[in-house]
Amino acid sequence: MDSKFYETMLDNFIDGVYVLDEKGDYIFVNSTYVKMTGISKTKIMQYNVYDLVKEGFIKSSISDIVYKQKKRVIMFQDVDGIKRRYRQLIISTPIFDGNGNVKNILAICRDVATINDPLQEAARHDVINCVSMPHMEERPSDTVISRSSEMRRLMEMVDRIAKVDSAVLITGETGTGKEVIANYIHEHSLRNKNKLVIINCASLPENLLEAELFGFEKGAFTGAVAEKQGLIEEADKGTLFLDEINSMPLNLQGKLLRALETRQIQRLGSNRHHLVDFRLITATNQDLIAAINEGSFRSDLYYRLNVIPIVLPPLRNRREDIVPLASLFLRRYCDKYNKKKTLSPNTLTYMTRYNWPGNVRELKNFVERAVVMSFDETIEISNIGDITAEFAPDYALGWQDEPEESEAVNEEYDMLLEKKTSLREYLARCEKNYVEYALHKYGNTYKAAEVLQTSQSSIVRRKGKYRIRY
């Protein structure tokens, strides 16, 4: 087979691919990489990889690391492209000559905005199977799934603020993942070598909450048989996360405000002050402005906490994240309980329809229950209905009522069934019609991608796949 054959194969690769020589000159780029960069293939082939740094496309070259370290490097890279700015995931692999020197570099790139596209497509046509997913040790922030445009925008902001020390106030419905975001901010901050201290302000009575936050000296109150460091002191050089901040009593709000302004705390029973250096992240599922109007929350503390507000969307407003989250939880609980389970396409369809009033927490609990209680390896919606009818009737009420179909739709379905049209063919036709309509309506791939909440490159691929003209 000649080189043209391999070039054609790589041009149809879903990821961007490029190859460099030992000097960093481009000697091959595939069509996907050309589309990602917005630079013509002829021009790219005239570039040295270091030229991209000089011209401001990228801040640093991953290839430079590979040349120096002589090993594969995987990293994210921000690109200031011709038509847009985006973040890509790069896997850059050295190829050695007979003397152990780097002869070439093979790099595979993917736009982070499209990183979950294959999973979404697989979910539409097949099942999600926990067996096929490699086990990885997970951190609390690993459940930050940002396939939806809402979460992508939010996580772009979170990445920016993680490196600074500004106070953050996270608001959102219960179960949306406020603690997960706080973990993510800490893990990606300059304080990540030190502790993240977490306390739920609603979990302790007022007298214990003050002692836990500020600490106490021996004899400060009955039962204080020894001095104790408070959680604010524990968070020194690290991060303090106060959840349900709306539950903090008024007198403690004033004491917390003083600690934030002076960076000093005073233990109960002590007249000495301790200097502390911490970043504060707070969270609430209540409207603090309403609490201020009711007199249960201090306005001066609110404005001190609300330097950078983060509003987490409910799961019903980020439905593109349901399937990736479900696959993550499925793998986790299959590993935990040594099970081999699969979520069927029908089950996934119902999961994406359901409104999830308990948000991500409810989804996680549901997947765990399905893994534990279902008898078959393939988890079908009928089995889940039986399970949830017993343990949580609201699931059954929310999922088992099928939407009524019009007679015209039923006639269309009957015709398709008579022709033995496969589910895959029907889904492809629906996708083509929807994308084609969006392109006709908005006139360009960028606006269509924004409205359809996907990437522009994904719309371009589908435009070519279905030969859409507009």
pLDDT at 396: 42
Considering only residues 22 and 427, tell me which one the structure prediction assigns the higher pLDDT: 22
3-state secondary structure the chain: CCHHHHHHHHHCCCCEEEEECCCCEEEEECHHHHHHHCCCHHHHCCCEHHHHHHCCCCCCCHHHHHHHHCCCEEEEEEEECCCCEEEEEEEEEEEECCCCCEEEEEEEEEEHHHCCHHHHHHHHHCCEEHHHCCCCCCCHHHHCCCCCHHHHHHHHHHHHHHCCCCCEEEECCCCCCHHHHHHHHHHCCCCCCCCEEEEECCCCCHHHHHHHHHCECCCCCCCCCCCECCHHHHCCCCEEEEECHHHCCHHHHHHHHHHHHHCEECCECCCCCEECCCEEEEEECCCHHHHHHHCCCCHHHHHHHCCEEEECCCHHHCHHHHHHHHHHHHHHHHHHHCCCCEECHHHHHHHHHCCCCCHHHHHHHHHHHHHHHCCCCEECHHHHHHHHHHHCHHHHHHHCCCCCCCHHHHHHHHHHHHCCCCHHHHHHHHHHHHHHHHHHHHCCHHHHHHHCCCCHHHHHHHHHHCCCCC
CATH number at residue 380: 1.10.8.60
Residue 240 has pLDDT above 90, yes or no: yes
Task: Indicate if 180 and 274 belong to the same structural domain.
Answer: yes
Domain assignment present for residue 436? The answer is yes
Task: Indicate if 157 and 270 belong to the same structural domain.
Answer: yes
Task: Indicate if 7 and 107 belong to the same structural domain.
Answer: yes
* Confidence grade of residue 245 (pLDDT, cut at 50, 70, 90): very high
CATH number at residue 275: 3.40.50.300
Domain assignment present for residue 368? The answer is yes
Lowest mean per-residue pLDDT among 92-101, 295-304, 457-466: 457-466
Considering only residues 407 and 349, tell me which one the structure prediction assigns the higher pLDDT: 349
Per residue in 136-177, pLDDT (tens digit) is 344 444 457 887 888 888 999 999 999 999 999 999 999 999
Domain assignment present for residue 49? The answer is yes
Task: Indicate if 123 and 75 belong to the same structural domain.
Answer: no
Cβ(178)–Cβ(172) below 8 Å: yes
Measuring CA to CA, which residue among 180, 185, 181, 179 is closest to residue 161?
Answer: 185
Give the domain range for residue 431: 421-465
Domain assignment present for residue 208? The answer is yes
d(CA 246, CA 235): 21
Task: Indicate if 278 and 342 belong to the same structural domain.
Answer: no
Task: Indicate if 154 and 132 belong to the same structural domain.
Answer: no
Task: Indicate if 428 and 362 belong to the same structural domain.
Answer: no
Considering only residues 461 and 390, tell me which one the structure prediction assigns the higher pLDDT: 461
Domain assignment present for residue 318? The answer is no
Q: Is the pTM of this model over 0.85?
A: no
From 311, 333, 360, give the residue that closes a domain.
311
Domain assignment present for residue 18? The answer is yes
Task: Indicate if 377 and 455 belong to the same structural domain.
Answer: no
Task: Indicate if 38 and 79 belong to the same structural domain.
Answer: yes
Q: What is the mean pLDDT of residues 285-300?
A: 92
pLDDT at 58: 84
* Confidence grade of residue 79 (pLDDT, cut at 50, 70, 90): confident
Cβ(185)–Cβ(158) below 8 Å: yes
Count CB neighbours of 407 within 10 A. 7
Considering only residues 369 and 133, tell me which one the structure prediction assigns the higher pLDDT: 369
Task: Indicate if 286 and 261 belong to the same structural domain.
Answer: yes
Measuring CA to CA, which residue among 40, 58, 41, 42 is closest to residue 50?
Answer: 58
Per residue in 333-367, pLDDT (tens digit) is 988 888 888 888 778 888 888 889 999 999 999 99
Task: Indicate if 164 and 261 belong to the same structural domain.
Answer: yes
Measuring CA to CA, which residue among 253, 348, 269 is closest to residue 303?
Answer: 253
Task: Indicate if 164 and 283 belong to the same structural domain.
Answer: yes
Domain assignment present for residue 408? The answer is no
Domain assignment present for residue 413? The answer is no
Strand 308-311: give its sheet, edge to edge.
196-200, 239-243, 279-284, 168-171, 308-311
How many domains in the chain?
A: 4
pLDDT at 6: 77
Distance from CA of residue 239 to its chain's centroid?
21
